[in-house]
Structure 1
């Protein structure tokens, strides 16, 4: 009995020590995330504007900003643009990352060097990536445009064409972040045991059958995680849009966070911009939860 009490006391002390060690991190997390998020939500219930600072704590009509959003065609259009950009960039990053991971899955110095080279875009600052692609998309200075023009195939600027501007941003975003998927999938591929693959090979399975029935089920949870991370980050493609297109031509690349930026910093409608950011944040959480739930539940059934 004494031994049991001693064990219980030890567990209680261990639990208290764990909470004590975790409390500084929780305090920092509270200060840098929850407090600003709460301030954002509170501001969304006010008509806050830099031209009317007294409206900061006025809550006489707290849902006015959200009612305006329902009738704001430009806001609704920005959501559609954001969904197109997120879907195209995430699917491209998963596809390119998976394909390169399968090609580079091996042990040799050449493959090691190739894997290291492919990681370079991911470690570059977003503004540097945006400037690189600004040069690539500008016909007067782009080496790609010069080569195509010399070959007799002149090409219009992709970021100045309303039909291609959004896909040009998606391509630039894919170039920067496909290494993330590639790295995660590579780590997963190297953890697959050899026995199932050897047994299937002896049974006469070809490469496609090996991938479909053995490799893909192993790496599928990793692809779900990569998709979730990249889906969340796709809503933060602000530097690319700001540098490459500034939301244009027209509003074809004006995503939701960029529209909120315009409302806050161009027109000083901080309350309205806070409502836009709050809706976007809620949408990201809901979409991420749905994708993760569907992906993991289907994996559990398998």
Structure 2
């Protein structure tokens, strides 16, 4: 009987704890619902209408709900913006992973100098995006840029990188890399701190080179972290709006007009809110699918290195 009483009391306490957790999470879940699902639903509904500021009555007109999406398939400027976005995403994510990994390997140590250096490298990541954009606007403007003046002093004059159609997109990728490579560096450094010393010491005693140590011991250990970093930076690469807005305004021409910037133009310059909402929905779906595919590929390669 005593055992049954204790069991019943334990079950009652578990039920009370579950109810307490539910009540505690309810406000957070309600806020999350309001700030995420409700705007997403409104965006989806808006994309099914021809809503524009010149025709407010179209807000609830659903006679042809797929008209915006059909227009997207025929919109050459939209299709070009997708290619531009993919170029920018691939370039910026690859640079951020490469630079972040390289610096993490160089700064992996416990000396005070290395710790101070790590702190200094984190500064770009904590700056507001608009401040980063203004810094690089100055660096890319030949008349006031210390970088351009230094190159001229050594006989290597360079024209404005953001005014040249061949270099504008890559200039944005460099600026984005400067701001966000510390994220990868920090994550990889944390992973390197958990690397067991025994396999490294054993391989060194067997005569393994630095490259072999990295290839066969360090890289497999940090690969999951690199996949996570790549996913986060891939998602964020679709939000490089401040850099493009300040540095190039989508130009020269449309060479730096990525998809979200084109959606901004349609919604706020031309007041085609329904069409702009459809572009945003396509971006959301594309980011989700691309992130899922990259993540699945990355984890599978980690789980099955022999294939």
TM-score by length of 1: 0.98
Partners of 2:198 and 2:208 lie apart in 1 by 14
In the alignment, structure 1 residue 224 sits paired with structure 2 residue 227: yes
**Which of 157, 161, 167 lines up with 1:158 in the alignment?**
161
Q: CA RMSD in A?
A: 0.9
* Counterpart for residue 75 of structure 2: 72
Counterpart-to-counterpart distance in 1, 2:26 and 2:198: 45
* Residue 214 (structure 1) aligns with: 217
Secondary structure of 1:134's aligned partner: helix
Per-residue CA deviations over 1:212-263 (Å, capped at 9, x if unaligned) read 1111111100000000000000000000000000000000000000000000
| 2: CA distance, partners of 1:4 / 1:69 | 62
Mapped pair 1:6 → 2:9: yes
Alpha-carbon distance in 1 for matches of 2:219, 2:6: 49
- Aligned residue in 2 for 1:91: 94
Alignment pair present for 1:293 and 2:293? no
What is the correspondence of 1:152-301 to structure 2 with a 5 Å cutoff?
152-301=155-304
SS of the counterpart of 1:200? helix
Per the alignment, residue 115 of structure 1 pairs with 118
Give the length in aligned residue pairs. Answer: 302
Q: Which of 80, 101, 106 is equivalent to 1:103?
A: 106
Partner of 1:148: 151
Rounded Cα–Cα distance in structure 2 between residues aligned with 1:146 and 1:301: 51
What CA deviation, in whole Å up to 9, does each residue of 1:195-214 have, x standing for no partner? 11111111111111111111
> Quick one: distance in 2 between partners of 1:19 and 1:215?
42
Q: Which runs of 5+ in 2 are unaligned?
A: none
Q: Distance in 2 between matches of 1:291 and 1:197?
A: 29
- Per the normalisation by structure 2, the TM-score is 0.97
| Cα distance in structure 2, aligned partners of 1:81 and 1:150 | 34
Give the distance between the partners of 1:5 and 1:292, measured in 2 at CA: 45
1:53-97 deviation line (CA, Å, top 9, x unaligned):
000010000000000000000000000000000000000000000
Partner of 2:41 in structure 1?
38
Gaps of 5+ in 1: none
Relative to structure 1, the CA distance from residue 301 to residue 2 in structure 2 (aligned partners, 3 Å threshold; closer, same or farther) is: farther
Specify the alignment match of 2:32 in structure 1.
29
**CA deviation map 1:174-199 (0-9, x unaligned):** 00000000000000000111111111
Q: CA deviation at 1:13?
A: 2.2
